[in-house]
Amino acid sequence: MTDIEIHKPEPILSSGTELELFSRSSNIKHTIKTLEAGTQVLITAFYSNGLDLVKELQSHLKRKLPNKSFQEQRAYRAAFRKLSNLILIEIVDHKLIVKKAPSIGWLKTLYPKTSDFLLTFPQVQGLNSAWQWNQNGISTPVLRNKIHPFYGVYFPTRFDHLILFDNWLKRYSGPKKSAIEVGIGSGVLSFQMVKHGFQKIFGTDTNPNAIVGLKESMGTTKLSRKIELDFASLFGKWSKPSELIVFNPPWLPASHTLDRNDEAIYYNQNLFLDFFEAAKNRLLPEGKLVVLFSNLAQISNVTNDHPIEKELEKGGWFQLEKCFKKTVKKASEKTTRDQHWRASEEVELWVLTHK
């Protein structure tokens, strides 16, 4: 496949401690107290037992913790993550040994040399969802073909910013010889640029799974000849200036140490400074720098700082040509989170040029 090491959940070969067993006959309240005491619990008999325990844990935490504001939801998710990751499930011969469990192809793909091990139940749920998305594909309103994201790769579940970018590409009349996408992820923005006639796209990502997944899904198709990839931060090995640079960074500032799963959602304090400084040497004199962003952090009171406005106010390397905004779609009525701020959320497309 590639010599890049794929990011995957670390297999637990031995818990090292005695596990509490959980089945349909177990007392759920007692089991939750066991989790809160820091003891690991092993799901037995049926896969649905794990689903039941996770559901009860969610209800328990919602009763204990307020879950209204954005910050409160963060605290709730942190508590849920801590406790749910003490719930384990066993894998033998690349299969979940509990009855009526889903078949997850990632277990053989990601762990070819390890067939028997334990994983946390949330990890298994994540592997299962990712397998379904990969196999069935995901439709977007801006592409004719579905995307098939690899495990552990961020893909868009909301499309307002993609539509904003597609509309901008329709009006773009500049040269289309090359473009650079920083943080290519599942490849949607690059696929859009190819659709609109760009001859060559150079993409980077710090997530090895994004690079491996795109190489695998593009195979030897026309896309593989038009999109070149580099497993690296910011611009990686792409030093030659281009007429278009595209960046869809995380939209929320980090308030904690980031793990790989967080890096697509939260940005560290140096990201934008480093990006703009590097971008000044990668953009042709008449080129365009396009940054897709949102006012989510401001309207949810996470921060008052807007990193793109900050760069422009500083009077650094770039100036504003145009900023396009689009009100996001109303949150799904199926969502369990209180997302009242969505009514005032806007996605933004910033077009910057050299000063």
Within a domain: 4: no
Residue 209 lies inside a defined structural domain of this protein: yes
pLDDT in tens, 58-88: 999 998 887 677 778 888 899 999 999 999 9
User: Is residue 111 domain-shared with residue 175, that is, in the same domain?
Assistant: no
Asked, for residue 13, whether it belongs to a domain, the answer is: no
Same domain, 190 and 331: yes
Both 220 and 77 in one domain: the answer is no
Could you tell me if 233 and 323 lie in one domain? yes
Is residue 150 in a domain?
Answer: no
Can you give the three-state secondary structure of 299-324, one letter per residue? HCCCCCCCHHHHHHHHCCCEEEEEEE
Give me the domain span that covers residue 104. Answer: 20-135
User: What's the pLDDT at 1?
Assistant: 47
Q: Looking at per-residue confidence, does 91 or 2 come out higher? A: 91
What is the average pLDDT value for the chain, to the nearest integer? 89
Higher pLDDT, 25 or 340: 25
Which H or E run contains 28? helix 28-36
Does residue 154 belong to any structural domain of this protein? no
* 337 in the same domain as 204: yes
Q: For the CA atoms of the chain, what is the radius of gyration?
A: 22
What is the distance between the alpha carbons of residues 86 and 42, in angstroms, rounded to a whole number? 9
| H-only helix segments in 85-141 | 106-110, 121-136
Q: Which helix (H) or strand (E) holds 58?
A: helix 47-64
Q: Are residues 166 and 128 in the same domain?
A: no
Q: Is 235 left (phi over 0), alpha (psi -120 to 50) or beta?
A: alpha
Question: Within this chain, do residues 178 and 128 fall inside the same structural domain, yes or no?
Answer: no
pLDDT, one tens digit per residue, over 196-253 is 999 999 999 999 999 999 999 999 899 999 999 999 999 999 999 999 999 999 877 7
CATH classification at residue 344: 3.40.50.150
Any domain includes 6: no
**Does residue 25 lie within any of the structural domains?**
yes
The answer to whether the beta carbons of residues 210 and 150 sit under 8 Å apart is yes
Same-domain check for residues 255 and 206:
yes
pLDDT in tens, 127-164: 999 999 999 999 999 999 999 999 999 999 889 999 99
Block residue for tokens 């963060």: 74
15 found inside a domain: no
Q: How many CA within 13 A on the CB side of residue 206?
A: 13
Q: Are 318 and 352 in contact, with CB atoms under 8 Å apart?
A: yes
Structural domain count, the chain? 2
3-state DSSP assignment of residue 231:
strand
Q: Where are the beta strands (DSSP E) in 218-315?
A: 227-231, 242-247, 252-253, 266-267, 283-294
